Structure 1
Amino acid sequence: MTSNDVVPGRFDQNVIIMRHGDRRDNFDPTWVKTAARPWDPPLVDEGKARAYRVGLELRNSLGFPIHRVFVSPFLRCVETASEAVSALCSAGDGGVDQSNVKVSIEYGLCEMLNEAAIRPQCAPKDGKFPFNISELEAMLPAGTVDASAEKIYPEMPSWGEAVSASRSRYGHIIQALADKYPSENLLLVTHGEGVGTSVSTFMKDADVYEVNYCAYSHVRRTIDFDESGSHTSGTFQLLTVPHTTGIGFLTRSSLADGV
């Protein structure tokens, strides 16, 4: 079911929030010395391979289609989305047909723009993080780009945003995109803090301590559509189990119980 094919009844909306793959500067420290954009590293080959494998996992194991993909404009995320979407759209026995998936770039999914995430010596001197959206869209699989999708965040956040503000942004963008496309399942490709925030936002007593490359969380809610096309939405529930998809977290209740 898509936004153009809403019928009365109940729909379980699923949102997958995924971290990018293995970034080059963490495997080749000398790369930043000559990079024109040292704050925007690409993936290494293993990062691309990992993203493709996770895309296949999502295609074959979720049991529902991904209708839309939204991605941070940072190169490592766009390359991750390209590989994951290629896998989603691939033919395969037992998989869910993903041939109509649409992809859009969303500034609200970008990296935390502060020194906790970006080394000061790598950040642009003027605090501006420019992206050529047309060039980034050209990296995505042919026929998948939806350039008409209106961004929730029309501009990049300002350099120096507080960590707390970044986490609020991640929580807001997940909810806002889900609310904008209530009859569609979404894949959001973002950064480690965004994935961690998705866990702590929808499981209030969770403490996240690890988010691996290409780790992903899964949240779900029930949407009820009436005959007029109006809908009422339930509350998102986190379905992710610690360590099964690359995220390490504990709940304060489990700690209290000695688990």
Structure 2
Amino acid sequence: MDSTSKNETPEYYQNVVVMRHGDRIDNFDPLWTLTAQRPWDPPLVQEGRVRSFCTGRKFRNLFKYPLHRVFVSPFLRCVQTAAEAAIALSAVDDSPEALTGESVSFDPSKIKASVEYGLCEMMSRMAIRLDVAPKDGNWGFNISEREAMLPAGTVDKNVERVYKELPKYEEPIASTKARYEQIVKDLADKHLNENLLLVTHGEGVGVALSSFRKGAEVYEVDYCGYVELRRPIFKKDRSFTAGEFEVITNTGQTGVKYSI
């Protein structure tokens, strides 16, 4: 971050939206984990797909700026959420009657998508029970397979991931929170001239808010709840520098509730 004077006029603002995934199946069917091959990686239920698509449509209609890139946690529920949101954001002929992106025409040149390990779930028993985590330690995240789930033509193969591999299980909670805060900064810094949508998990959304709004304590993040951040970008000579992020989300308005 740069200590640019508040009196300077920014060249533009960079916007970052940090969003939780949609409704996951194991919260509606508690017995699902008993027979699932990958109980640590639940998919969305249909309602989750609908919520994800409609949230992406809301972004397209509500925001006064375009979202250029989507970065997503490798967990299945997040990839499915990102896929629906990306189609909604790049829709060409989006009928109001469409509830998912299944039959919606979209322009893949309008948005690019990438999987980022740093946005993954809290890798601890607080989020993934010991009896649910893989016994052999193999989480089985194949990035090529996850990318294939994203809308055709949107995957950017040239993006270098910040985290080269999944954080280790039993990651300390303090480390997880530091990871969530840092990944927002790192991705924003790497793509300084673009607006980003980061699809992650509930704790990641909460940290994105509390890290950039002093004194805020997040106590609820709904499915597809999101935090909207922005920061000024200043031009000095021939280079660009970034100011501090500010939270422009009020409590309860976007599925995130917090106190000051």
1:171 aligns with 2:181: yes
User: Which residue is equivalent to 1:201?
Assistant: 211
The partner residue of 1:155 within 156, 165, 173 is: 165
User: Which residue is equivalent to 1:248?
Assistant: 257
| CA–CA separation in structure 1 for the residues paired with 2:214 and 2:179 | 16
| CA–CA separation in structure 2 for the residues paired with 1:42 and 1:148 | 27
Q: Is 1:50–1:214's contact at 8 Å kept on the other side of the alignment?
A: yes
| CA–CA separation in structure 2 for the residues paired with 1:66 and 1:10 | 18
User: Which residue is equivalent to 1:238?
Assistant: 247
Alignment of 1:1-259 (within 5 A): 10-91=11-92, 99-226=109-236, 228=238, 230-251=239-260
Structure 2: segments with no counterpart, 5+ residues = 1-9, 95-106
One-letter amino acid of the structure 2 residue matched with residue 175 of structure 1: K
User: Which residue is equivalent to 1:4?
Assistant: none
Bigger mean CA deviation after superposition, 98-107 or 160-169: 98-107
Secondary structure, counterpart of 1:58 in structure 2: helix
One-letter amino acid of the structure 2 residue matched with residue 138 of structure 1: A
Note the alpha carbon deviations across 1:157-178, whole angstroms, 9 max, x for none. Answer: 0100111110100000000000
Query: How far has the Cα of 1:226 moved from its partner?
Result: 4.3
User: Which residue is equivalent to 2:104?
Assistant: none
Secondary structure, counterpart of 2:52 in structure 1: helix
Q: Is 1:66–1:98's contact at 8 Å kept on the other side of the alignment?
A: no
One-letter amino acid of the structure 2 residue matched with residue 239 of structure 1: I
| CA–CA separation in structure 2 for the residues paired with 1:197 and 1:99 | 31
4+ residue runs of structure 1 moved beyond 3 angstroms? Answer: none
Secondary structure, counterpart of 1:91 in structure 2: strand
One-letter amino acid of the structure 2 residue matched with residue 63 of structure 1: K
| CA–CA separation in structure 2 for the residues paired with 1:177 and 1:244 | 25
Note the alpha carbon deviations across 1:93-141, whole angstroms, 9 max, x for none. Answer: 9xxx984210000000000000000111100113332211111111111
Secondary structure, counterpart of 2:147 in structure 1: helix
One-letter amino acid of the structure 2 residue matched with residue 34 of structure 1: T
Structure 1: segments with no counterpart, 5+ residues = 1-8, 252-259
Note the alpha carbon deviations across 1:195-214, whole angstroms, 9 max, x for none. Answer: 00001000120000000000
Indicate the percent of aligned positions where both proteins have the same amino acid: 55
| CA–CA separation in structure 1 for the residues paired with 2:183 and 2:40 | 22
User: Which residue is equivalent to 1:255?
Assistant: none
Change (3 A) 1:236 1:92: farther
| CA–CA separation in structure 2 for the residues paired with 1:84 and 1:75 | 14
Secondary structure, counterpart of 2:114 in structure 1: strand
One-letter amino acid of the structure 1 residue matched with residue 200 of structure 2: T
Give me the TM-score of the superposition, normalised by structure 1. 0.89
Q: Is 1:59–1:98's contact at 8 Å kept on the other side of the alignment?
A: no
User: Which residue is equivalent to 1:254?
Assistant: none
One-letter amino acid of the structure 1 residue matched with residue 74 of structure 2: P
Query: How far has the Cα of 1:29 moved from its partner?
Result: 1.1
Q: Is 2:108–2:153's contact at 8 Å kept on the other side of the alignment?
A: no
Secondary structure, counterpart of 1:85 in structure 2: helix
Give me the TM-score of the superposition, normalised by structure 2. 0.89
- Number of equivalent positions: 239
Q: Is 1:67–1:98's contact at 8 Å kept on the other side of the alignment?
A: no
| CA–CA separation in structure 2 for the residues paired with 1:150 and 1:179 | 13
Query: How far has the Cα of 1:11 moved from its partner?
Result: 1.5
| CA–CA separation in structure 2 for the residues paired with 1:161 and 1:173 | 16
Secondary structure, counterpart of 1:40 in structure 2: coil
